[in-house]
Structure formats: C-alpha cells, structure tokens
Structure 1
Amino acid sequence: MPDSSRVRIDGKGLRCADVVRVARRSASVKLNQDAVRRAESTYRLALDIGAKRSVYGRTTGVGANRHAVVDADTADEHGLRLLRSHAGGTGEPLPDAIVRSTLVIRLNQLAAAGSGVHPRLLHALETALRVGALPLVHSRGAIGTGDLSALAEIGLTIAGQRPWHVGSLDPVPISPGDALAFISSNAATLAESVLAWHDLRRLLHASHVIAALSFCALGGSPEAFSEQVHGARPHPGSVRCAAEMRRILGLDVDPPEGRRLQDPFGLRAFPQVHGPALDAADALERVLSIDLNAAAENPLIHVDSERVYHHGQFSTAYLALSLDSLRAALHHVAELSAARLSDLVEPELTGLTPFLSSGPPGSSGIMILEYVAHDALGQLRHAAAPVTLGTAVISRGLEDHASFSTQAARSTSAAISAYRTVLACELLGAVRALRLAGTELPDAPIGQAFARASRRLPLIEEDHPLSGEIAQAEQIIDEFADC
C-alpha cells in the first residue's frame, strides 16, 4: 500500500529501509534546506577552483583524455557533450522501482555536498520523485566503477535531451562542471543492491518459518536449537537463528524429545548454515548504509578545506565482495532447503507414503517438486559464482581494475528469485506432510503459519499438476516474513 510519510534527504541519514519505501511504496522525499545551502557553497567553490587550476572532468576530458584541456570557447557545451557520449547504455530498461531507488540515492549523495553540481539538479531530482516522473534507464553499461551510462541517461533526460519514460519535467540547464559530477556515482548499482538486500532479508526471515514447518513434519529434535548449544559457540547469526526457531516453535525450557537421536543435517545444522547468511545480510546493510550517504564523486570538492581532491572512491570493492559473500551463504541455505524436501518424501523419516502420495500404488505425489527445487538450486549455484574474480583494463590502460559490483547486484537478484522457488517447494512438502499426518501444532507462531498456509494451499490428494500451487506458495512466503 502507498506510504504517505516523507523521507528526509540531508546527505547523511538515508537508510536502506527509506530507499525501499520510496522505491516500492512511493513515499515522498523532502530535501533539507541546510543541505541545499551547503551544495550551493560547494558549487561556487568548484567554480572558483576550476578558474585557477585543472580539475578533472570540469576543465579537462575524462579517462585517458584527462590531460586534454577543455577549450574555453566551448566550455558551455562540455557538460552536454560528456553526457551524450556516455549515455550508451543498452539491455532491458531498469524496472521503475530500481529507477526510483536510483533517483533517491543520487539525490541524497548530492545532498552530501561533495560533487559541486548546481543545486538545481538536486531540486530536479526531488521534483521528479514528488511528481512520479521517471527517465528511461538501460540496465547494461557499468562494471562497478561508476554507473556512467545510467546516470548520463538520467542527466540527459533532466536536461530535456531525452524523452521521459513516465511523466516529465521542464528542462534543467546543465552547467559545464555538472556532467561528470552528476554521473560520478554508483547509484544505480546501489539501487538494485538495496532492493535485493530488502527482499533477501525478508526471505531469510521467512525461511525460519518454513524450516520450522519441516521440523514439525519430520518430528525433529529441539536439542539442535537449544540456548546452551549456541551459547557454547556464539556466532551472532546462528545464535539469532536458533532463538528464532525456539520462538516460532514455541519451545519451552524443557521441550519434548524428537523422533531420532540425530536428525538429518537439514534440521540439525540449520542454525549453523543459516546464521552466516543472516550475518552476511547485516554486513551488506552496513556497506550500503555508508555508500547511500557518501560524497564519493571524483573529484571531491571539499568545502571545509576549500580544496579539490582526485581519488578512487568510485571503486565498489566493498559492495561487490559483500554481495558475493551473501550469495555464497545463500547457496548453502538453499541446499539445506532442498535437503529437507528430500527428507519430506522419505517414508523412514515421516512415517508417511513415498513422495507423500495418496493415490493408487505407483502414484507420484510431490515427486516433481524435487526436480523443480534442484533446477532452481542449479540456477542459484550459477548466480552465486563470485564476480570479484574478474577485472577489466579499459580507457587505454588507465583504468586497470573493476569490481563488477553491478554484475554482483544482478546475480543477487537472480539468486533471490531462484531461492524463493526452492523455499516454495519445501513449503508445499511440509504443509502436505503435516496435513496427511494430522499433526497438531502448538499455539505458537508455527501454528498460525500452518493455518495461514492451509487456508491458501488446497489439499488435493490425487496426482495433479503442481505449478499453480508452487506460484501460490511463493506468495505465501512473503507473508511469512512478518510471522
């Protein structure tokens, strides 16, 4: 549902959750006037410094053209030439939510007042977000050293040089020094990363509920989640995961024993495998929170020292490595989900029929779910491959490293989609097993979750196509994030 609240933009307090509210729920933004005044001071300082010394991208070309001095007679056109030459993105257009996310992130970064852009660009971004105007931004054209193509497309749209995708604004002039200052950012990559972080964090939370349903269907041992066990090896994520399982299952101080002395790894090692993913999501949030509020433009116009600094803050190694780590952890978590699904179709573990079938001998039941889950797991495995093992040497050898954080963000979005399917297959298996067994669940969050799933998922005992139920289960998973 729409969000009627406002997100304050001051260049230092933007949170990941704020970005999601603007991107997904169309929350409005309010630009802090102190930030605008500071941006104005930085803009004037940039003009003054540029009149006295060479400033990369303002009085010179960019990349290997860094020593080419801009002709004073054509300086007014320099900014537009730079935007036009860099607006070479291709591929599918970015979804509207990612574009809105990009706009609010770039606005907040500019409000940090290190770029030296004219304040009218800040007002243009604020207005676009307020009225719902969106540029058309292509997905391909960055390697983790600045979203140059995407931001050039946005800059040209604001300048009236490209048509708007949704809505419109009156054209805004581009000052000679505005172009590089505006596009020197990884805002689009951060935008996709923030939305991926949000979606994955919710999926990881919902995973506790689904694993708990499988735990009940398999008659798991609560010893694996005991406070004493995890206090003896207190990694934050596994401690949190075990505590969540105790809460969801309503385990008291002296819970009953499980069916087996030792459970399969899918139950027994769940906190140890799921915990690193929780920790990796927290680590990614810390990286994102810094970058959302960073004045990372090259060069940095530093108003307090009245100096200009040329630097490498465009590098996004922190972000790329955090995303790679999170996807690797997620793959382990998804493997355990697929393992629990295999446990659910095994009669020796459930006491039910093979594949939870209910028809004549030879009925397949939910056999196909294992194929679907492992197909999705295979996709996730490919998406989990680290992008940070590659690099690029471009611009006549001057730019000889790239983090590929943009590709890491894309891979993370793909991994999330695949993981949701794996979880949906496990959810269908767990709910079916509990219903066939007539298991009574405690008056705890697990019981409420089972009741919700049972209302939404039909119990069709004979063999039938499961595609619709998989899609329905994927929707229910999002609701479990709030259990």
Structure 2
Amino acid sequence: MDRTTDGPARTSPQRRDTRVVLTGTTLTVGELTALADGAAVPAVAPEARERAVRSWHAAQRLAAGGRLYGRGTGVGAHRSVAVEEDDEAAHGLRLLRSHAGGAGALLPARQVRAMLAVRANQLLAGGSGIQPAFVDALTEALRLGVHPAVNEYGGIGTGDLTALAQTGLTLIGERPWVTVGPTAPAAHPRPDDGTPDALADGAPDADLFDSAADAWRAGDRRGPGGGADRGGTAGRPDTSWRDARPDRSGTLPAPVVLRAGDALALLSSNALALGQAALAQGELDVLLRATHAVAALSLAAVSGSAEAYAAPVHALRPYPGAARAAGEVRRLLGIDDRASGAPGRRIQDPFGFRAFPQVHGCALDACERLRAVVEVEVNCPSENPLVTADGSTAYHHGGFFAAPLGLALDAANLALLQTAQLSAARLTALGDPRLTGLPGFLAAGPASSSGTMILEYSANSALAELRSCTAPASAGHAVLSHGLEEAASFAGQAARQTLRATDAYTTVLACELVAAVEALRLRPVPPEVTAFTAATAALPLGTDDRPLTADLTAAAELLPRLAEV
C-alpha cells in the first residue's frame, strides 16, 4: 500500500480545491486522512469559530473570578502552586518550553499533519478556552503544507504533551516550520472577527525565520524577536530535529502571540495518538476489505465448500462482522445466499477457509469500533479544565485519559493477528497438492522446483512482526508527577503498533494473493470473477524459480483496488 509514512504528505494538484470543513463535531476518518495526505485543504465553519471565540471569552471571565488549573496554578504535582496574575503569560511560555522534551525519531509529515487537523477540530468543538488564533494557525499550516518537527516519544495516553508543546513553540515562532513538499501556495486570508492582537502583525520575514532557526540550533532560546528569555536557559536546547528541512519559502503561518491560559489549553489533548489511530484505521479498513477478495480467490483455488458462508449459518449467530465477511465472499464468487449449487471438493475445509467468516468478522467489528471511537474523540473537547458551552463554569476532569482509544486499538491489533494467521494458513494450503490437486508449491518445471515455497517464509516473517505488535499497550503502567498521575492508557503506543501491524499484514496478504492467483491460473477453467480478472492483469505470469519480490510488490499495490471490487 502507498502509505509513504516517512515521506512527504501526498499532495494531489488535481484535488487541491477539495475542502474539508471543520465544524468541531463532524470530522470523519476519511476527511482526516485526506487532510493528512494533502489531498484536501481545511476550511473553518464560521459557527464553529464563533464557538471557539465564545469559549475563549468565557475562560477569561472564569479566570478573573478564580484560579483555573494551569492558568492560575502550576501543573501536575505543582497543581497547588499559585501563579501570579501578571506572570500567567510567562508561565504559559515556560510550560511550553519545559514540556517540549520529545525524544526519538522525527515523525513522518503525514502523522504530524493528522495531529494538526485533529487539534484544530477539537478546539473548534469549544471548551478549551484558547484564543482562536491558534485554530487559524493550525489550519493555515495545513493549507500551506508546513508542519512542526515532532519527536516520536513523549506521550503516554494522558495527553500528547511533548508533541503539542513542540507544536505550540512552532506556532508562536520559537521553532521553525518544516516542509517536505513543493513551495506552499499563498496564505488564505483570515476572518476579521475583531480579536485584539490575536496574531503578530504582518507576514513573517524569511530572514527573520532563518535567524530564529539558526538561533535555536545554537542554543539561543530567546525567540524570533530576540527578546529576553523569561523562561530561563538552563539545559541543552532540543536539536533533535536539526536534520529536518525548515521551510524557507517565506509563506508561513504568522506567529501567534501567546496569552494567559493558551499553553495548557493547547497541550490538553491526545491529538497525535488520535491522528495516528485515524490513519491506521483507514489503512486497516482497506486491508480488511481487500481480504474478502483474496480469501474468495483462495477458496476458489482449492475448490472449497461454500457451506461455511451460507447466510442461514450466520443468521443463527448474528455477529455483524461475520455476516458481512460471509456475504462478501458469496458476492465476489457469485454464490447465492444459501450456497446452493456450489459443492466443494471436501465435506469440510481447513479452518483457514471454514472459519474465515467468524475470525475475519471479529477484525471487521474491531475496525468499526476503532473508527467510532476515533470519530467521537476528534469531535469533542477533551481539555482540562473544560469550559462549558454556556460559559458558566469550568470543570476539572479526566477526559483526556485515552482509555477508550487505547483499548480499541489493542482490540484491533489482536483481531488483525487472528485473521492474518488464517491468511498464512490458506497460503500453506495453496501449496499443498492434497488440497489443490496442483503441483506442490504451484511450481512450474522439474519436480524439484520450489515455486511459491518461499512465500510461506516471507509471510510468517511478517506475521511474527505483526504478532509482536499485539502485546496490549493498555496493560502498561506508569506512576508520574510525584504519584499524582498513577495510571496511563498508552494509546499512542497502541496506535504506533497498529500502524506497524497494518504494514506487516500487507505483506502476509500479498503472499496469499500471489499464490491464489497462480493456483487459479493453473486451473483448466479459471473463475470469471472481477477480483481474478483484476489480479491476473496486474501480477506477473508463472512461478518458475525466480525472485518473487516484484510479484509481492505488485500484489501489495493491488490491494486497495481489490478493496473496491
């Protein structure tokens, strides 16, 4: 599959006019993926921005009437340490700087763009109390094709603190923007809502940007204006992103002037984990739909029994996923609901064929559950404290604890392993002449030829990688901040595991597809089904003893097309 997770955001010039309207309440996984890939640009619904403006003004009123966590106080174990009113803005700057301690490799642009889209939409849901200029800057970055440099490690499923702190410092001009695509287009004008001093005057100067980037690399953390570092300069600067290429096009989001309360309001989210989970769910959905076609071809290749796919069987145990899996195989092979007129070679087949609906159905259900959780989380406020819609109060709560997301990801990973194991089992069956009546390993030429033998090794190697991704991340434990935060969901770790798992499953499924197509080609009368026609046109002919890497590459690239058959 063409994920390009370590390459540039995929921008299609033909689709640059495609817009995703951010309302704060209706963002889908598909729309989020389009924004991450650069296949669409964001637009902000006026009513959503007005909601964010009301939340900002409400937070200012509430803060004036009493201390709010993170604005009039420190954070974490310092929750009871008071912050003086005239120090609140400087406190926010110190908060961003101190929390921007991400570690590990830089994340691919696609994942960071997904995070930006999630955070913008969440802020438009209202409840954060942040100034709307941050929404403008986040959406502007998506439109311009630039993103902050964000390191992999730092979140534990209770807020992506380091990733969002690095983002915050970029938004206010202390860290440079990064671009891996072509020169960005001109910025779209912002609405004039009368917000005072919400953004720095004018567009940023390219030379000023270069000076800021160079200063940060040298350890001068005074910011682009060269002002005094009110947060202190102790410790080494974060230079882990120095190999990233900063944008020098001169077209960048204007730096936001940080105000009291903005810092924690920006940080209080699992936007990165949600963005990664959305991308993983989209890829998983494609693979699971492609699996119907691959499994159907394998069933035809071994002359398997269709009785296991009959609608009456699944009506008695009405799991949605199982019924869908069975129905898709029937549809793809042109079998009626009662599986009549389609006798198999055996009374019953191995589990890879006979139990496919039950096992694959669990993966379909888990994928759908993951989509539902992601779409709830990206369309609601999670900030702590949470400003109510009517602006009357602010609640301190634990809505940022990403237990639903972490558990949904873990369940998807485990379910994917089960269906991947059946794919590997079907691959073995396709090479067994006792089941197919064809030459062993579908080999052409002398009897000693190996044919597709090596595909079992490649598939099981990828399967081992997938299996390593299924240790539940939600079983992890952490006690942090002097014991105040004594649990974590580790949703971000689970999301990264799902991304790796989908990569591995792509290989497993591609191995099965190559073998299934070759087995059907060896049949006297290959099936006249759309999936086979598409596959045989895309895959190289023959299994004479030769490297099959090109076959697997072609099969992997074909999977998204088979998902649409």
CA offsets, 1:400-437, max 9 Å, x none? 01000000000001110111100011011111111122
Cα offset for 1:52? 2.1
SS at 2:36's partner residue?
A: helix
After superposing the two structures, state which structure 1 stretch, 356-365 or 208-217, moved more: 356-365
Name the residue aligned to 2:243.
Answer: none
Name the residue aligned to 2:561.
Answer: 479
Aligned residues: 479
In structure 1, how many angstroms separate the alpha carbons of the residues matched to 2:439 and 2:284?
Answer: 34
CA offsets, 1:240-290, max 9 Å, x none? 111111110111353321111111111111101100110111111111111
**8 A Cα contact 2:18 2:39, kept in partner:** no
What aligned pairs does 1:77-116 form with structure 2 within 5 A after superposition?
77-116=90-129
In structure 1, how many angstroms separate the alpha carbons of the residues matched to 2:556 and 2:425?
Answer: 18
Query: Does 2:336 match 1:256?
Result: no
Letter in 1 for 2:253: L
In structure 1, how many angstroms separate the alpha carbons of the residues matched to 2:525 and 2:407?
Answer: 44
Name the residue aligned to 2:307.
Answer: 223
**8 A Cα contact 1:222 1:255, kept in partner:** no
Name the residue aligned to 2:261.
Answer: 177
After superposing the two structures, state which structure 1 stretch, 16-25 or 193-202, moved more: 16-25
In structure 2, how many angstroms separate the alpha carbons of the residues matched to 1:143 and 1:78?
Answer: 24
CA shift in 2, pair 1:396/1:223, >3 Å: same
Cα offset for 1:231? 1.1
Name the residue aligned to 1:128.
Answer: 141
Name the residue aligned to 1:201.
Answer: 285
Name the residue aligned to 1:244.
Answer: 328
**8 A Cα contact 2:59 2:391, kept in partner:** no
Equivalent of 1:276 in 338, 341, 362? 362
SS at 1:61's partner residue?
A: coil
Name the residue aligned to 2:545.
Answer: 463
Cα offset for 1:38? 2.0
Query: Does 2:486 match 1:404?
Result: no
What aligned pairs does 1:305-454 form with structure 2 within 5 A after superposition?
306-442=392-528, 447-454=529-536
The CA RMSD over aligned residues, in Å, is 1.3
Where do 5+ consecutive residues of structure 1 fail to align? none
Name the residue aligned to 1:286.
Answer: 372
Considering fraction of residues, name the structure with more helix.
1
Letter in 2 for 1:117: I
**8 A Cα contact 1:359 1:462, kept in partner:** yes
Query: Does 2:158 match 1:145?
Result: yes
In structure 1, how many angstroms separate the alpha carbons of the residues matched to 2:110 and 2:371?
Answer: 19
TM-score normalized by the length of structure 2: 0.83
Name the residue aligned to 1:155.
Answer: 168
**8 A Cα contact 1:359 1:461, kept in partner:** no
In structure 1, how many angstroms separate the alpha carbons of the residues matched to 2:478 and 2:87?
Answer: 33
Where do 5+ consecutive residues of structure 2 fail to align? 1-11, 180-246
**8 A Cα contact 1:206 1:482, kept in partner:** yes
Identity across matched positions, percent: 48
**8 A Cα contact 2:520 2:527, kept in partner:** no
After superposing the two structures, state which structure 1 stretch, 252-261 or 159-168, moved more: 252-261
**8 A Cα contact 2:55 2:391, kept in partner:** no
In structure 2, how many angstroms separate the alpha carbons of the residues matched to 1:265 and 1:329?
Answer: 16
Letter in 2 for 1:145: T
**8 A Cα contact 2:58 2:391, kept in partner:** no
**8 A Cα contact 1:102 1:187, kept in partner:** yes
Cα offset for 1:120? 0.9
Letter in 1 for 2:146: A
Cα offset for 1:379? 0.9
Letter in 2 for 1:469: D
In structure 1, how many angstroms separate the alpha carbons of the residues matched to 2:154 and 2:525?
Answer: 54
In structure 1, how many angstroms separate the alpha carbons of the residues matched to 2:27 and 2:487?
Answer: 29
Equivalent of 2:76 in 52, 57, 63? 63
Query: Does 2:32 match 1:19?
Result: yes
**8 A Cα contact 2:428 2:456, kept in partner:** yes
Cα offset for 1:305? 5.1
In structure 2, how many angstroms separate the alpha carbons of the residues matched to 1:134 and 1:255?
Answer: 57
Cα offset for 1:58? 0.5
TM-score normalized by the length of structure 1: 0.97
Cα offset for 1:133? 2.1
After superposing the two structures, state which structure 1 stretch, 98-107 or 189-198, moved more: 98-107
Letter in 1 for 2:537: R
SS at 1:165's partner residue?
A: coil
Letter in 2 for 1:129: L
In structure 1, how many angstroms separate the alpha carbons of the residues matched to 2:39 and 2:468?
Answer: 33
SS at 1:51's partner residue?
A: helix
Cα offset for 1:301? 1.2
Letter in 1 for 2:396: H
Name the residue aligned to 1:210.
Answer: 294
Cα offset for 1:83? 0.5
